[in-house]
Amino acid sequence: MNPPPNIDPGTVYSDNDVVHWLTNDTRDERFIDNIFAEMCIRLQRAGIPVKRASLHILIHHPQWLGARMMWVDGMREAEIQRVDYDVVGRSEYIGSPANEIRDGATEVRENLARDASLGRKHAIYDEMRAKGLTDYVAWPLYHTLGKRHIVTFATDRVGGFDDAHIASVLKLLPILALVSEIRIKNRLARTLLETYVGSHAGELILAGATRRGSGTTVRAAIMICDLRDFTRISDNWPRDDVIDLLNGYFDAMSEPIARHGGEILKFIGDGLLAIFPLSQPSACANLLRAVAEARQAVIALNEKNGETGREPLNYGIGVHVGDVMYGNIGSRTRLDFTVIGPAVNMASRLETLTKQLGRKVLLSRAFADFVKSDFDLERVGEYPVRGFSELIELFAYHG
């Protein structure tokens, strides 16, 4: 995160100067946390005694309900903390200003200098009193279509904020709402693309790679993984149990892949397709490291599932290396950003062969040549592979 630009300590602003800056001079700043921090500093220069401020936003993310951006006097950058979905059931949220705003309050104001027994009861107020703050105010920040976020300000000024201070800050809120909504939606678009197509493909799409048929040739290690006996499991288990099992399995497989530089392009029912571009010098070795870590993660998952009577999960992985076409494929109105080509087909066929040959991980000779000096591989033999005219030499990796 880039810090806000330098502000001359001697510069004195009016509240109108802050409004003008927020309206006209923030268009080149990408991140709302930087804008928020600089806005607080400029408010101080305008004579508004802000000591602490926070911006709470709801986000669409598979793991996080939202994020809190906290600025405190003396900070050049706002501190960002992600908030998980379970927070709404915890004491830190129940009865908090955020809870009141979410329940419909249009303002939460608390005189922190008065006797604490006379005020609202919540740990956040005790924390602010302990830090010498005297006044606190929170407002909803309205985005389009009824979406409400939260912004808060606190001061340590004797007597708290006066009416002029409050009026000056309120004048900023509609502009802050517009400025923040643009940045949050930009971040939301990026997050959704990363969630559904992967980070690299998401960057390409945001950069304009949206035309059907557009793409490039990439040399990559390809990994296709499939869960064994899923049809039987899905036929016999309750729906929620099946979803929970799949999520646990995909976590075990996916997190090592991402950690070692791979990109999951898609989940296919109970399987996944991932690539490790050879532009990374250790791509093939990284793929096997990810496979080894995934194996340990599945063992741990099976132990956990065994405690509730679930059967252990088994899987097969096919690995090959080669050139793939990486880009947009689909109908005129519905595209998929994926990889295709003979190398992908080979990886898929090897995954199928894992069942026949009783190995969890099968590697083609082409892939094995990249890693055989550094990893212990078992030569399995030469086998016919459907769709390929020549016998393919195969190796097993036991991680």
Task: Say yes or no: 347 and 384 in one domain.
Answer: yes
**Nearest CA-CA partner of 357 in 375, 388, 382:** 382
Whether residue 189 is predicted with pLDDT greater than 80 in this model: the reply is no
* Spatial contact of 318 and 359, defined as CB atoms under 8 Å apart: no
Please tell me the predicted confidence (pLDDT) of residue 177.
Answer: 96
* Spatial contact of 333 and 368, defined as CB atoms under 8 Å apart: no
Report helix, strand or coil for 238: coil
Choose the weakest-confidence range: 78-82, 222-226, 278-282: 78-82
Please tell me the predicted confidence (pLDDT) of residue 2.
Answer: 44
Whether residue 193 is predicted with pLDDT greater than 80 in this model: the reply is no
Please tell me the predicted confidence (pLDDT) of residue 236.
Answer: 77
6 part of a folded domain: no
Choose the weakest-confidence range: 190-199, 247-256, 370-379: 190-199
Q: Which residues of 39-76 are buried (b: 16+ CB within 10 A; e: fewer)?
A: bbbbbbbbebbbbbbbbbbbbebeeebbbbbbbbeeee
Task: Say yes or no: 133 and 279 in one domain.
Answer: no
Choose the weakest-confidence range: 166-180, 202-216, 221-235, 358-372: 202-216
pLDDT in tens, 113-135: 998 888 889 999 999 999 999 99
Average pLDDT, the chain: 88
203 part of a folded domain: no
pTM, two decimal places: 0.65
Average confidence (pLDDT) over 384-393:
91
* Spatial contact of 293 and 300, defined as CB atoms under 8 Å apart: no
Please tell me the predicted confidence (pLDDT) of residue 269.
Answer: 83
Structure tokens, 208: 């304009």
Q: What is the DSSP string of 285-341?
A: HHHHHHHHHHHHHHHHHHHHHHTTTPPPP-EEEEEEEEEEEEEEEE-SS-EEEEEES
Average confidence (pLDDT) over 381-388:
92
Q: Which of 138, 168, 196 is the last residue of a domain?
A: 196
Residues 224 and 96: their CA atoms lie apart, in Å, by 47
Report helix, strand or coil for 137: strand
pLDDT in tens, 1-46: 444 455 665 566 788 899 999 999 999 888 899 999 999 999 999 9
Choose the weakest-confidence range: 235-244, 264-273, 345-354, 386-395: 235-244
CATH assignment of the domain containing 91: 3.30.450.40
End-to-end CA distance of the chain: 38
Q: Which of 133, 167, 196 is the last residue of a domain?
A: 196
pLDDT in tens, 264-305: 988 888 899 999 999 998 999 999 999 999 999 999 999 998
Task: Say yes or no: 223 and 297 in one domain.
Answer: yes
Please tell me the predicted confidence (pLDDT) of residue 188.
Answer: 65
Task: Say yes or no: 240 and 347 in one domain.
Answer: yes
Task: Say yes or no: 220 and 289 in one domain.
Answer: yes
